Amino acid sequence: MSEVEILKLVASISALIVAIVGHEIMHGWVAYRYGDMTAKRLGRLGINPLIHIDPVGSLLVPGILYFSGAPFIFGWAKPVPVNIATVMRNGGTKGAVSVALAGIVFNLLSAALAAAILPFFIQAQGFFATFTALFLFQFFILSLVLAVFNLWPIPPLDGAQALRYVAEGMKLYRFTALYDKIYPYGMLLLFAILFTPLSSVLFAPVEWLAHILL
Helix (H, G, I), strand (E, B) or coil at 133: helix
What is the rounded (10 degree) CA torsion for 31, 36, 37, 39? Answer: -40
Instruction: Say what the pLDDT of residue 201 is.
Output: 80
Looking at per-residue pLDDT, the higher value among 73 and 54 belongs to: 54
What is the average pLDDT value for the chain, to the nearest integer?
90
End-to-end CA distance of the chain: give it in Å, rounded.
Answer: 30
Tell me the whole-structure pTM to 2 decimals.
0.90
Average pLDDT value for residue range 165-169: 93
Which of 117-126, 134-143, 171-180, 199-208 is the most confident on average? 134-143
Instruction: Say what the pLDDT of residue 1 is.
Output: 66
Task: Tell me if 90 sits within 8 A of 166, measured CB to CB.
Answer: no
23 has a pLDDT exceeding 80: yes
Helix (H) or strand (E) holding 87: helix 84-117
Looking at per-residue pLDDT, the higher value among 110 and 123 belongs to: 110
Neighbours of 197 (CB within 10 A): 7
